[in-house]
């Protein structure tokens, strides 16, 4: 009985270690790639982590926590080895565990030496006691929060996002700042450095004076797509702005719909937003729909769509461009009847012209829907067969 209880405890701690390792490895991967000098003009990262401070700030606490677990567990196993030494099989397993912990310690040190941890994780960590610690990139859905100069908006958005984030490895949060507002950058780097990775788009191109902000926004989106898809090689991304608040089931909603978005060639995005979802006109939190209209305000796109757009991305007014038939090609977006995002951004590039008349009346879903158990087959593409 004592051995069985010990086995349960060991497995529990190993699972905790596995989670910590993945979190650390993902952050290290982001930081190493994002801070690598870019070869494209729009990806100027001169303001990112000039002295590797981002690595120390983002990983230091995580590594210390992991090392504490490793040290405690090693000490416990050393005692237990002597207790169970008469059991040869158990003894060998304990020795292997100790070796693995030592290997973890070595891997931790590699981080501080600024090495790519993805290249140093040993085979020992994928034995019978560990699942592979390197998650497949295909399963990760990064959340990019797009910001400019609204620090208070960013705080509100991140607080809600982080409080509902089910997994830092499955849904890592990246904050992308346009330009170099110092107040906002300090929010990212000093207040939320344990929860997000910050990147900065500072190499702006010259734009027309009229509607300048819409041209800068388009440049920023291009920078994000090139970073996420071309540089970090993710296969999908969710885009949020810093004036958006999310619903309790936001993450489950997108996770459920990702396979359909990948497999159904009649779709080009999944949106959290219903542009007609005003209070009093919507009622079913489980209902999803297809639409010909691109609404934005919290949406997911795949790399395959970006591959179509990369060479013709517009200089300005990217969202209007995206709605044109030449881009949409008859494809649709999925959106919920009740929105999974709500905008509180009265102040912004549009001068609040739509907020008071329309946006503030959109209802945000306040119910948690377990999307993993929802049937969404009714959204599948319908094929007409002519007889």
User: What are the catalytic residues?
Assistant: 319
Tokens of 378: 């009714």
Tokens of 220: 């920023």
- Distance, CA of 362 to CA of 370 (rounded, Å): 22
- Distance, CA of 363 to CA of 274 (rounded, Å): 9
Buried b (16+ CB within 10 A) or exposed e, 306-333: beebeeebbebebeebbeeeebbeebbb
3-state SS, residue 199: strand
- Distance, CA of 21 to CA of 27 (rounded, Å): 10
3-state SS, residue 335: strand
Whether residue 332 contacts residue 266, with contact meaning beta carbons closer than 8 Å, is answered with yes
| Phi and psi at residue 289, to the nearest 5° | -140, 160
- Distance, CA of 334 to CA of 330 (rounded, Å): 13
């Amino acid at each position: 009985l004592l051995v069985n209880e010990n086995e349960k405890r060991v497995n529990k701690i190993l699972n905790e270690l596995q989670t910590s390792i993945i979190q650390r490895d993902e952050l290290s991967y982001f930081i190493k790639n994002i801070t690598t000098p870019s070869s494209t003009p729009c990806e100027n990262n001169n303001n990112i982590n000039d002295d590797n401070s981002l690595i120390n700030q983002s990983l230091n606490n995580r590594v210390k926590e992991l090392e504490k677990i490793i040290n405690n567990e090693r000490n416990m196993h050393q005692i237990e080895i002597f207790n169970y030494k008469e059991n040869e099989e158990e003894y060998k397993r304990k020795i292997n565990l100790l070796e693995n912990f030592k290997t973890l310690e070595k891997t931790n040190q590699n981080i501080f030496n600024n090495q790519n941890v993805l290249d140093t994780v040993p085979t020992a960590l994928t034995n019978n006691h560990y699942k592979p610690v390197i998650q497949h990139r295909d399963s990760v859905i990064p959340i990019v929060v797009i910001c400019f100069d609204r620090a208070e908006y960013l705080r509100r958005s991140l607080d809600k996002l982080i409080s509902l984030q089910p997994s830092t490895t499955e849904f890592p949060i990246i904050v992308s700042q346009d330009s170099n507002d110092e107040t906002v950058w300090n929010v990212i780097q000093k207040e939320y450095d344990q929860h997000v990775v910050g990147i900065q788009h500072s190499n702006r191109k010259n734009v027309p004076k009229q509607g300048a902000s819409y041209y800068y926004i388009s440049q920023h989106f291009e920078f994000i797509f090139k970073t996420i898809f071309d540089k970090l090689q993710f296969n999908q991304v969710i885009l949020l702005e810093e004036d958006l608040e999310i619903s309790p089931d936001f993450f489950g909603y997108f996770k459920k719909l990702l396979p359909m978005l990948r497999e159904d060639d009649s779709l080009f995005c999944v949106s959290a937003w219903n542009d007609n979802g005003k209070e009093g006109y919507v009622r079913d939190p489980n209902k999803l729909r297809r639409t010909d209209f691109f609404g934005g305000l919290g949406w997911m796109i795949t790399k395959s769509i970006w591959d179509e757009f990369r060479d013709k991305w517009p200089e300005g007014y990217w969202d209007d461009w995206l709605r044109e038939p030449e881009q949409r090609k008859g494809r649709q977006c999925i959106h919920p009847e009740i929105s999974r995002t709500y905008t509180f951004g009265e102040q912004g590039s549009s001068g609040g012209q739509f907020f008071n008349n329309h946006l503030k009346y959109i209802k945000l879903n306040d119910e948690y829907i377990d999307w993993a158990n929802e049937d969404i087959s009714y959204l599948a593409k319908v094929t007409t067969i002519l007889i």
